[in-house]
Structure 1
Amino acid sequence: MSAVIPPEHPDDRPAEEPGTGRRRWWRRERVVEPVLPEGWRTGPAWQELNGRRNRLRTVRTVFVLALVSGVALVVVRPALLLDRLPGHHADASPLPAETARPDAAPAARSGLPDRAHPFRGSPAERWASGADAIVLPEAKAVGGMSKADVALALRLTKEFLVGTNLDPAVLRGGQPTAAMALLDPKAPDTLPELRRALRDPDEKHNPLNLVTRFDPDEVAPAGDVVRVRGRMTFGAGKRGEVRVHADYTFVYPLVRAGGDGSVTRTIVRRDVKASLMDPARWLVTRGKLNLGWYYSEVGNSACKVYDGYYHPEFEDGPHSGDPAEGPAVDPYDRHRSLGVPADGSCGTVTRT
């Protein structure tokens, strides 16, 4: 039920093995105890009745005062009520930007997603959204490249990530034209291979190595929000080169084409190294990116389907693609390095 995308460059592959799969949900039902009425054949004497009415009047006054106080408190601090609703978490504040590799996977969260709350039950509830989540580090001169050159390299890398993973038209199956325009046409392989993969995808030529796309006849985005988590760093390469390393996870909530039914999520992680090089020293096009290596991992997409689209599965739908044979992996676990199984198999995810 998952598809793991092989890296473009074979060097320096980490040992971890990614994979994807389906999560099974559970729900606890609340039991309501019956309220038994007082006996209707008996009643208090009239001496007791007057005292009881006074006591009832006092209890009613206390109840009304408590109710008014409670409503006022909830108005002032709504979290006191919202934190106790099913699927709501006391800690729902946005996370600060990621600046280093996390020490562990994010904690589990409960709840089922729906159209109004497509990230419920996911760590991405607390992640930032869209392009704003890709925060650029402060530029400085490195490797014989000026501060302005480094700033340009960072900006171009962000634009490439946005154009290949966040552009609404591309997500709906379109061509990543804007992102492709950022790549160096003098690079001998990247652009020709990407054009070939988009035109006629197969196992060897797979556009999903770099581009996130869904079949518009099959699924549609559940809203306009994509949650994003990751970081970008840079350093000196060879003389006249700045290298940018971007590692981001994108979480896409989806519904079936037509918009009806349940919500599912596909999680895509991109680990990309790009370079901006000095044309006075290198045979490159000024102001264009050169891609070094790139890894990809996807959670919740059919195994070994090479038609140029991700194919997410739904809890209430049938399985598609080859069966998952690899190990179980948490797609939200950003503390592990990204890699691919040596045998090319795909596994299952522990959550979506």
Structure 2
Amino acid sequence: MSDKPSDDQSSASEIPDDVWEQFTRDTERDIRASAPKEPSARARMVTERLRQQDARGETPPGWRTDSARQERNVRTARRRKLWAVVGVPVAIALALVALKPSLLPGDPFGTGEPQAAGISPLPAETSAPTAAPGASDSETPTLDEPFAGSPALRWADGEAGIVLPEAKAVGAVSEGRVEQALKLTKKLLVGANLDPGTVRGERPEAALSVLEPQQPETVDDLETALRSPSEEHDPLTLFSRFDPDQVRLVGDVIKTRGRMTFGKGSHGGVAVHADYTFVYPVMRADGSTEVARTIVRRAVDVELPDPARYRVTAGRLILLKYDEEIGNSSCDVHDGYLHPAFPSSRDEGTRPTGPTTDPYDRSRSLDNGDACGTVSRT
């Protein structure tokens, strides 16, 4: 009698041989992968070295104990602290500049404020202008910006505005004599209109020193005018003077613009014609901060005569003619000083009766009439 196979044997006999072989291979691979591996020789060396250092109390440098790394961290922390200290003032300064760019010297952002570098000076005047300067911004002059709102803002300062033409021989008059005449004329203009002592009302010694003393009428008239000013003898016809007890110059800059020409003279020498305008910013001597401007234009004709033909003093000028036009000064006071009208007192004193003129218009010829006129701007 034969035995009947069990259920397990029956099931095993039913598994195909190729499936069983695959199962066996996968099982062996998994067993090898999960079995513990012996450390490599290098790993055993490293482990042994760390064990010995630990036994000696030596800790290998790590990212927390590396001295070089710690030093770098300290430097980084210092830089952060420095930026924290410096950064706040810098941020405040940048905010102030953003609100008012004019705080930066030179006005690099081109805000166009009166003293900005973007306002270029005018080139020297080499010929007669054909029109008056254009309108300027209607700014009020101040102690810090005394030429604000004036065309003179772009004019040269003081003597720099008196540019001599190139000297050339005129007929029998040498180039050297022409150059001497030009320099003497400049000295006369500076001494009469720019010298600080003259402007303060002192005696204009430098200007008088270049005039020919053997012109009795001219020199005597000027001396009388300086000694005893009157309507008939007025020193303002040649000299710019303010009463220091009433008016003071704002700053030390007087704006100047004009030109000088020369030609053959009537006394065997060289004749020079000078036409210049001077702008004076002033304030009251009582400490008021109100600023006004007086504009004086002068046309002067002089000659350096030939000493070989005429009995004259060497190196002195003959004063042939001088005209003036004064803007913003009282015309009913004859004490030898300029008396500017300030904005707060424009309605005081004698009201002008003459025509309105632009004191900056150098294209006009000088009219020395007696009418008391007014100016369109200062």
TM-score relative to the length of structure 1: 0.75
- Give the match for residue 216 of structure 1: 244
Percent same amino acid at aligned positions? 53
CA distance in 2, matches of 1:268, 1:77: 30
Structure 1, unaligned stretches of length 5 or more?
1-63
SS of the counterpart of 1:275?
A: strand
SS of the counterpart of 1:82?
A: coil
SS of the counterpart of 2:252?
A: coil
Higher RCO (C-alpha under 8 Å, 6+ residues apart): 1
Change in 2 beyond 3 A, CA 1:189/1:162: same
Give the alignment of 1:3-152 within 5 angstroms: 78-83=107-112, 92-110=119-137, 111-152=139-180
SS of the counterpart of 2:188?
A: helix
C-alpha offsets along residues 92-126 of structure 1, whole Å, 9 cap, x if unaligned?
11000000011110011111110000000000000
- Give the match for residue 346 of structure 1: 372
Change in 2 beyond 3 A, CA 1:121/1:236: same
SS of the counterpart of 2:329?
A: coil
C-alpha offsets along residues 16-53 of structure 1, whole Å, 9 cap, x if unaligned?
xxxxxxxxxxxxxxxxxxxxxxxxxxxxxxxxxxxxxx
Contact kept? 2:283, 2:292, Cα under 8 Å: yes
Q: What is the Cα deviation at residue 79 of structure 1?
A: 4.6
Aligned pair count reads 280
- Give the match for residue 360 of structure 2: 332
SS of the counterpart of 2:298?
A: strand
More helix by share: 2
- Give the match for residue 350 of structure 2: 322
SS of the counterpart of 2:325?
A: strand
2:338 pairs with 1:310: yes
Q: What is the Cα deviation at residue 261 of structure 1?
A: 2.1
Larger Rg: 2
Moved more, 311-320 or 229-238: 311-320
CA distance in 1, matches of 2:372, 2:292: 19
Change in 2 beyond 3 A, CA 1:218/1:280: same
Contact kept? 1:113, 1:264, Cα under 8 Å: yes
TM-score relative to the length of structure 2: 0.70
Change in 2 beyond 3 A, CA 1:284/1:319: farther
Contact kept? 1:274, 1:291, Cα under 8 Å: yes
Give the alignment of 1:263-302 within 5 angstroms: 263-302=291-330
CA distance in 2, matches of 1:310, 1:137: 31
CA distance in 2, matches of 1:102, 1:252: 21
- Give the match for residue 32 of structure 1: none
